[in-house]
A and B are shown apart, each in its own frame.
Chain A
Amino acid sequence: MAEVEEGCELFSAGHRACGGCGPALAARLLLKATGKNAILVASTGCMEVFSTPYPETAWGVPWIHSLFENAAAVASGIEASLKRQGRSEKVLCVCGDGATFDIGVLCISGAFERGHDITYICYDNEAYMNTGIQRSGATPYGASTTTSPAGKCSPGNVHPKKDMPAILAAHGAPYVATASIAYPNDFIKKVERAINTPGPCYIQVHTPCCTGWGFEAGETLNMGKLAIETGLWVNYELVNGQVEKVKKVRRKPVEEYLAKQKRFRHLFKPARQDDMIASIQAIADANAERFGIDIKAKESSE
């Protein structure tokens, strides 16, 4: 288990993130895993904006932002350049879910198909938060966003979350993992494994967003834990496409997660939407079945 070192912050305090920001914590943990010998490529989005208002930067490692959708292509060029120069820095992308699931898919697919030695981290807060909480391909079923609002004739977002890990595993990525900032050592360990695995690796880290999801700033880690404990988020590793390690839980009903967030409030008020809640429970059940996350009787926690 990787130890989180004290007094070794490469991601500085003083940035402009909201109090309780999940992605900011992901950035801090990420740099604990990479150390100094890394080059980061950012997409346009919350993390880019709150960490680099010119002339200030929070990044203690070389960092580059070009556009919303091209981080994987920029990283491809950096990796090729370092290779040509015989340099040892690890190249990582750090991009939000909109940049990853939606607008950046072309560049990501190309980079993974070519097999560049890069690690792509998607910090998944499940909507376009920087522009004001619009729906992305990562937004969960039933969530109300500003472009998938719940209304008289709409239950919120009606599309299931896109399965990006499977898509990238299908590209032949040697290491694909999901993680959560609620389990920091697990995330750090996965980043360390990814950057030390040759070829393109992908980590999708769940980063609850108090502003976008509508919960108290002090509840960020609890929200991450509840997502895992209800089976709506599963932490797993795919090594050469095969499931290798899964976080097992004693599952709670999804309602315990949903009821605490404003984005799902319409499922409970003014009238309880039993059908919708049942559909979301079915998603959690399917996750549990697919990954075998349920701790059976007499089985101890992993």
Chain B
Amino acid sequence: MLEFMEGSHAVAEIVKRCRPQVISAYPITPQTHIVEDLAQMVANCEIDAEYITVESEFSALSACLGASAAGSRVYSATTSQGLALMFEVCFNVAGMRQPIVMTIANRSLGAPLSIWNDQQDSISLRDSGWLQFYAEDNQETADLHMIAYKVCEDHDILLPAFVCFDGFILTHTFEPVSLPTQEEVDAYLPAFNPYQRLDAENPLSFGMYATPDYYMEFRYEVDRAMQRAKQAFVKAGREFGEQFGRDYSGLVEGYRLEDADTALVAMGSICGTVKDAVDEMRENGRKVGLLKIRTYRPFPAQEIADALKGVSKVAVLDKNISLGNGGAVGIEVKTALYGSGISVYDYIIALGGRDVRKRDIAAIVDLAEKGKGDMFYGLRTEVL
């Protein structure tokens, strides 16, 4: 049944049905509605969880780490500066192989201070060992949480995940969403079964230090788990499709790519705008398509190369910038297509919430087809 609800509320509702036993979060715009909704659910006994109201994001994720290590399914949510404050803990959680799921309400990073959307925050943690999933709309956001818990808690994976959805554009936007019932979620996502836990009956040491004789192997194991997560995601996404009719078996998703000459590549909510722009350009006889990246980590390089076979030009839309070397997604798409002969152009767009419309997408396609790219798009040159 479709219900009309705010994106943040959809997240809170699905998180409730995923039955986390410990929730710890610190309020930050535009994540607040999620954690407020969850707090109210705990206050109403609708959710059987401990809610730890910590004094910082740093402590929020640290508390989640402890609770996860002690054997509980845990949840947190943050964005932007909060995620930056968690930086140190993020690497630690992944290295200690704790399957924590955290929602990221994507927002830009200061300075200058901005509460508006781009994807600089989560992308800046691309090397931290967290799986990163990006949602196009609120339905996908909700669904990806269930898939995330399933993939993370798989004993062959045991990694944490960000479920990323664009701040305000999705968090504060009302859309029709179909939420599964508790019974349906329970059928898809079994109770948490920790691989190891802190337990007086079986005393283990977690988070020991490693000399150069051992450190590298720990990092290798995390990378292997990341690689295995591709298959685990495909499997969990397919099972989701079988049960709920919405298929997420693709790490990437093509839209009208069949005979496309120029392909746009994007992540997150902008994919909706791009699809509309593609439809309009198609009506005008232009052979344009979209490749949506759903899993930024692990990065689906082979899947991208396969999906873009046959196109001659690629325009990557980057809502982030690796300062000094262009957009992070563009850099990786170029690597994925190395040697293919396809021309890849990168466009830095929408930083700090700058609006991007269908006509902008069409203009970017024009630029790509003229061979102009690797640039900021939409700069107000008059204020430079």
**How far apart sit A111 and B208, CA to CA, in the bound complex (Å)?**
23
In the bound complex, do residue B198 and residue A106 qualify as a contact, i.e. CB atoms below 8 Å apart? no
In the bound complex, do residue B204 and residue A114 qualify as a contact, i.e. CB atoms below 8 Å apart? no
Is the CB of A64 closer than 8 A to any CB of chain B?
yes
Across the interface, which residues of A come within 8 angstroms of B69, CB to CB?
64, 74, 77-78
Number of A-B contacts (CB under 8 A): 161
In the bound complex, do residue A63 and residue B205 qualify as a contact, i.e. CB atoms below 8 Å apart? yes
In the bound complex, do residue B50 and residue A84 qualify as a contact, i.e. CB atoms below 8 Å apart? yes
Partner of B198, one of A37, A39, A54: A39
**How far apart sit A260 and B382, CA to CA, in the bound complex (Å)?**
71
In the bound complex, do residue B207 and residue A77 qualify as a contact, i.e. CB atoms below 8 Å apart? no
**How far apart sit A75 and B56, CA to CA, in the bound complex (Å)?**
15
Is the CB of B209 closer than 8 A to any CB of chain A?
yes
Across the interface, which residues of A come within 8 angstroms of B206, CB to CB?
62-65
Partner of A84, one of B21, B88, B205, B211: B21
Partner of A57, one of B58, B64, B88, B208: B208
Number of interface residues of B (CB under 8 A): 44
Is the CB of A239 closer than 8 A to any CB of chain B?
no
- Min CB–CB distance A296 → chain B (angstroms): 45
Is the CB of A109 closer than 8 A to any CB of chain B?
yes
Is the CB of A52 closer than 8 A to any CB of chain B?
yes
What residue in chain A is nearest B48 (Cβ atoms)? A84
Is the CB of A61 closer than 8 A to any CB of chain B?
yes
In the bound complex, do residue A85 and residue B198 qualify as a contact, i.e. CB atoms below 8 Å apart? no
Is the CB of B245 closer than 8 A to any CB of chain A?
no
In the bound complex, do residue A36 and residue B209 qualify as a contact, i.e. CB atoms below 8 Å apart? no
What residue in chain A is nearest B95 (Cβ atoms)? A66
With A77-B67, A114-B52 in contact, do A53 and B62 touch (Cβ < 8 Å)?
A: no
In the bound complex, do residue B66 and residue A81 qualify as a contact, i.e. CB atoms below 8 Å apart? yes
In the bound complex, do residue B54 and residue A85 qualify as a contact, i.e. CB atoms below 8 Å apart? no
In the bound complex, do residue A66 and residue B65 qualify as a contact, i.e. CB atoms below 8 Å apart? yes
Most buried by A among B22, B62, B72: B62
Listed in ascending order, the chain A residues whose CB lies under 8 Å from chain B are 36-39, 41-42, 48-49, 52-55, 57, 59-67, 69-70, 73-85, 89, 106-107, 109-111, 113-114
Listed in ascending order, the chain B residues whose CB lies under 8 Å from chain A are 21-22, 24, 48-50, 52-56, 58-60, 62-72, 74, 88-89, 92, 96, 198-200, 202-211, 214
Having A55-B208, A80-B24, A107-B55, one finds 14 other A-B pairs with CB under 8 Å, namely: A54-B211, A57-B205, A60-B203, A62-B203, A62-B204, A63-B206, A70-B89, A74-B65, A77-B63, A78-B66, A78-B70, A78-B198, A85-B70, A85-B72
Between A and B, 21 residue pairs with Cβ closer than 8 Å are: A62-B200, A65-B208, A65-B209, A66-B92, A66-B207, A67-B88, A67-B89, A73-B58, A77-B67, A78-B66, A78-B70, A80-B52, A80-B67, A81-B21, A81-B22, A89-B200, A106-B56, A107-B55, A107-B59, A107-B62, A110-B59
